[in-house]
Structure formats: C-alpha cells, structure tokens
Structure 1
Amino acid sequence: MAGGADMRDRAMGALAGVAVGDALGMPAQTFTRAEIAATYGRVTDFVAPCRDHPVSHGLGAAMVTDDTEQTLLLADHLLRGEGQFDDRAWAAALLEWEAGVRARGLRDLLGPSSRRALDALMAGTPAEETGRTGTTNGAAMRIAPVGIATPPGAPARLVARVAEACRVTHNTREAIAAAAAVAMVISQGVEGATFEAALPAAMEAARLGATCGAAVGEADMAGRIALALEVALRGDEAALAAEIGTSVASRASVAAAFGVVRLAAGDPWRAAVIAANIGDDTDTIGAIACAMAGACAGIGAFPAERLARVVAASRLDLDPVVDGLLALRMQQGGEQP
C-alpha cells in the first residue's frame, strides 16, 4: 500500500498522464497510421498540428484538448459537490465548457451523442434515459478523478461512482464497463499497485460495470481488454491497432489503451509515444493509457521537461485538484494523503 507522499505522487501521475498523453496525441487525432507517418514522421515529441487540421486547428504544440479539460471539469464538479454527483449541474458544466471552446474558436467540441443527451436532460428527460445510446470513450477519457477520489477496496462502490459520472451521456454497459476498468487501474495505482498487478481488479470492475446502464454495445468489455493485452504481448503496435481498433468506440480505443500500457511496459512517456502514432483517436488513447501508467508509476516516471511544457502550454494547475480528490478519497476510507 502506498504511503501518503507516494499516494500523492501517483495521483499526480494520473492527472499528469491525462494531459501528457492528450497533448502528444493531439496533432495526430483522426489521422490513420499512414497519414500520421506522412504528415509528421513518427511523433516522438510535442508538435503543432498541421495546417487546417480538422479538429486540432488553433492549438499549439504541447497543448491539451477536450480530454484533459473535461477531466478537470469532472474533478471540479466532484470537489464542488464534496463527492456528491448532480446530473443537471454536470450537464450544465459540460454545456458551459463547450460554449467556452466555441468562444476560443476551437473545434474540439462535444460529440453529437453527448450533445443530444445533454440537451435532452436540460429539456426535462430523466438522466437515466439521456445517455442510453452512448457507447463512445468520452466517459473513460475523463474518469481519472473518480479513480483518484475512490479507494479500490470495495469494487461495487467504485463502479457505482463511475456509473454516476457516466449516467448523463454514457449510460450503457459498454461505456460504464470501460470507464470502470480504467478507474480501477488508477485507484489501484494510487494505492501502490503496478499496472500488471492492477489488472485483475480492473477486469472485475469491467464485469461489474457491464451490469449497469442500458444493455447497449459491447457485452464483454473485460474480454475486449483481455484480448488487447494478449495482442500486446507480441510487441507489435500495428497488430494492436489492426486487431483491436482505435476508433472512438469504447470497445476499441479503451481496450487499445490497456494494450498500449503493456506495450510500453508501464512507462508513461513510452505509452504516450505509442498512442500518438497508433492512429485515429490518438489523443484519447494517449490520455487514458498515460493516466493508468502515471497512476501506477508516479509523477517521477515522466520526463520533467516534457511535463513542464504541457503544464505551461495550457496553464494547468494540478496540485490543488489532486489534494482535493485525495481528501475525498480519505473521506471514503482511503489512507491519509
């Protein structure tokens, strides 16, 4: 079990991982592996997106996208509610965030399914109904704060907290199972586990998550993750992309993120580089993979200069967020941070 200082180091690693993986993958998102190679060569450091990028236009090298911004938005929601979740307030926060993105002239907005779900909730549709078609990775990409704030000892409680965070936009077995697996790795990592040691609990969380929400999408997310981990044993990045997929579907990109961490042998920066070149939803795969790797390896595993560039480029202030989330964890029976 991690001590207080180590727990904070690992929690910081999880949030930093979201930002680093997101920023490195940002210029390559939506591109195929071949297009990434033709446009950037192999991405091994932060670069600005190519001119007229369909999504990342307007961002600079080492800047984060919606993945990190929504992660911090969820953290803020949890902290404002002292751990309690308010569906309407969360929906309003997401819509306000999107309005801010538009005002900045950026293109990385809410996906159409999330936008419809939020509009429906604000129009009076019950939260249990609004997210019943959402199977994409939007919930998993921002779930790190729930993993940091929730101890892993009671898996059903952690999965319930994940399901709350998914409900408005991604209330399906596929999305909840995927997000639950990611949150459990992060929670286990903060507690002191390595990535490989955290996997059995993550599989259990995925199976529990698959019993929540609408019976829509992938029924066996744990099986998809297991397959991605098996493919990763070959050490072949291209095989992982081809056999698991890298699209916005949770069954593809979230499973692939697990494979990426194994390919990287748990190293957060290596995971970020693999994700940035794997194709399609590179920023989200990077954010998820690096959050898990960072939680299990700690903030010291990141190259300090590269982490500093991301923090400076997007003016991130992660320390108070981590402290607040660890305080919530302690209230639920976690160790003193």
Structure 2
Amino acid sequence: MTTAPPGLLDRALGAFYGLALGDALGMPTQVMSREDVVRVYGTLTGFEPARDDNPVSAGMPAGAVTDDTDQAVIVARLLVEGGGHVDPLRFAAELLSWEREMKAKGSFDLLGPSTKAALDAVAGGTDPKEAGRYGTTNGAAMRVTPVGIAFAADPLPHFLDRVVESCQVTHDTNIGIAGAAVVAAAVSTGVAGGTLDEAFDAAITAAEAGARRGNWIAGADISARIAWARELVEGLDEAAALDRIVALIGTSVASQESVPAAFAVLALTGGDPWRSTLLAANLGGDSDTIGAIAGAVAGSVSGLSGLPADAVRTLRTVNGLELEPLAAQLLTHR
C-alpha cells in the first residue's frame, strides 16, 4: 500500500473525525426545536449527554456518535473491501445488520426514513438497484464523506459514478444524489488542499450535475440553495444567523434543508471546524447530520491538526474510533 503524503492524510483524517465531531456535538439536540435547545442548554459549548426525554438519543453519553458516523464507517469499509466500489446488495445487508445490532442494544438511534423504506423493500425481494428510487432525505449525504476522501472530484462524471454507488440502494433520486454530491465534492476539494471557497464552488457544481442523475422527484434545487445560504447569513451575528437558518433554510431531514443549512454554518464561521460543529448543534432539528456535514467539510480544509485535540481524544475514547487505517486505505484510490 502506497503511503499517503502527510498533508493529504491529515486532511482526510480531518474530514473523517470532523464528521464524527459534528455528529457527537449534535447528538443531544437532534429532534429538538431551536427554542428548546436555547431553553435547555442556553448555548451548547461542548459535548453533552442526551436527555432522558430525547426520543432518538436518550441514554447516549457525552461524545457519543450516531448513525451518521456509523454508516460513514460502513461506506469506507465497503469501498476498501470493494476496490473503490460499493456493492449495493452488500451495502443493504450491512445496514440491516447494523440496525439489528442497534436494536439489540436497546438504541432508539435507528435507520432514517428513506433508508428504512428502501431496506424494507430489499428485504421483501426488491432489487437493491431499484429500492432507492424514492429516497430524498439526507441519509446519503451524511455518510458519503469516505467517497470524497477516496476520489478526486475531477473528472466530475467519474466522481459522480462513485457517489451514485453509495446512494443507489437507498437514495437513487436527483435530490438524494445531489445532496450527497455536494458533501463528497466539498470534502474531496478540501482533502486535495482546496480552500473553503473552492469547496463551496465544487459543491455547487457537483449538485448541479448530481441533480441530473437518479429518479426525478420534485424538490427545491440544492445547488441554488447552497449559493443562497452563503448570502443569507452574511453580516449577521451567530444567534441571529442561527434563527434565520431555522426559519428560512430549515433543519429537517430533507436534503434541501439540512445540506444547505450545513453550508450556511460553514459560511458563518469561515470554516472553523469547532465553531461550525458547535453552531450546528445549537440549531436543533437534524443537528447531528448538519453538524456531521459541516464538520466533514471544515475538517477536510483544516486537517485533523485544525480540530481540537481534546475533542478528538474524547471521540476516540467514547466510541472506540480509530479512523486512521481506513483513511489511509481510502487515499490509495487517489
């Protein structure tokens, strides 16, 4: 195996651990309203355990990651084992196995709506290549970071082929693919040494192209909404910007909301990984996924060296995360 240049590996690890950072910070506030986040936490300033009344993350300790990180690790492992390809049937089996394990542990943090519907269809005999034809939520976007680590975003058609493979079984729609293409292209650009502005530009371009793939479902244009999100928060203080993101962009599991919301947070912080992921956690809604996306992109630009070392230690300790071998193996495809 060829050893990746130190800077490239640092940025790849920044993306992977940045995803986990945003996921863990947003874990306790997911499915909470912005108003409830403010009422309960004031301003979230670090890792917190989930409250017992949280219907998704109840019982999870401070620093614990959710399905966003778990599924990204599955994608990474399948890419490595598949020589750079994700086999849809194998992917479906891995996701179903993951959910069985989570249920056995008594977890409420299970598969999202599009993924669950698609995998139920596969279990009922539907061809995995057809199961994702209605999936439009952000499940593909939240787990696609390993594709961005593994492959250069140029040439874009080849890159999108790899993105589509990671989407197909659950999110084979113009919206699902566009949302995943945004994250993968931004991460890939950061890993290659690009700036945040260059990551934004790559994301917008990839979303336009990704929206021409998959089964067409009516919905807002993700590319246009990312460009708009950057302008929407310009000149605002953080509290006002978060309120505007909630009111105008939205923080639901819809790809057209959560993906642009993550990029609005990135624009607000200038791509600072810690600030970006913290602000995402303070949004509420699908805060773990918004944080995971923002953290992956910010981390790809800053590198692991740009993430707080104590926070990374917490992620490793609480979750048993050791992402270095996977990241290094992913980079062999560049």
Identity %: 46
Matches within 5 A, 1:214-233: 214-218=215-219, 220-233=221-234
The residue correspondences of 1:44-123 to structure 2 (distance < 5 A) are 44-123=45-124
Deviation of 1:105 after TM superposition, in Å, equals 1.0
Residue 295 of structure 2 corresponds to which residue in structure 1? 290
Name the residue aligned to 1:22: 23
1:230-309 pair list within 5 angstroms: 230-235=231-236, 236-309=241-314
Count of aligned positions:
327
Q: Take 1:224 and 1:126, find their aligned partners in 2: how far apart are those partners?
A: 33
Q: Is the 8 A contact 2:140 2:177 kept in 1?
A: yes
TM-score w.r.t. length of structure 2: 0.95
1:189 matched to which residue of 2? 190
Letter in 2 for 1:250: S
Q: Is the contact between residue 132 and residue 169 of structure 2 (CA under 8 Å) also seen in structure 1?
A: yes
> Larger deviation: 282-291 or 234-243?
234-243
What per-residue deviation string (whole Å, max 9, x for no partner) do you get for residues 149-202 of structure 1?
111221111111111111110111111011101100100101000111222222
Helix, strand or coil: the match of 1:30?
coil
Q: CA deviation at 1:219?
A: 5.2
Q: Structure 1 CA distance, aligned partners of 2:113 and 2:256?
A: 19
Deviates more, 1:127-136 or 1:287-296: 127-136
Instruction: Tell me the distance in 1 between the aligned counterparts of 2:80 and 2:70.
Output: 15
Distance 2:312 2:114 in 1: 32
TM-score by length of structure 1 reads 0.94
Equivalent in the alignment of 2:209: 208
Report the alpha carbon displacement of residue 119 of structure 1 after superposing the two structures with TM: 2.4
Equivalent residues of 1:224, 1:255 under 8 A apart: yes
CA contact (8 A) 2:51 2:59 kept: no
Shift of 1:295: 0.3
Amino acid at match of 1:322: A
CA distance in 1, matches of 2:247, 2:74: 33
Q: Distance in 1 between matches of 2:86 and 2:138?
A: 20
Please tell me whether residue 317 in structure 1 is matched to residue 322 in structure 2. yes
Question: Using the alignment, how far apart are the partners of 1:154 and 1:100 within structure 2?
Answer: 38
Query: Which residue is equivalent to 2:181?
Result: 180
Please name the residue that 1:130 is paired with: 131
Going from structure 1 to structure 2, the CA distance change for 1:219 and 1:51 (only over 3 Å counts) comes to: closer
